[in-house]
Amino acid sequence: VGVGLHKGWAIEGAIGSKVKIDPSYLSPHVNITSRLEAATKRYRVPLLMSDAFFGGLSGSVQSKCRRCDKVSFKGCSDPMVIYHHDTFSLKK
Our measurement of the distance from residue 62's CA atom to the centroid of its chain's CA atoms, rounded to an integer in Å, reads: 15
pTM: 0.79
Q: For 48-74, what is each residue's pLDDT tens digit?
A: 999 999 999 999 999 999 999 999 988
Helix, strand or coil, per DSSP, at residue 26:
strand
* Residue 30 predicted with pLDDT over 70: yes
Residue-level pLDDT at 26: 81
Q: Is 70 exceeded by the pLDDT of residue 1?
A: yes
Residue 57 DSSP label: S
Question: What's the mean pLDDT when you consider all of the chain?
Answer: 88
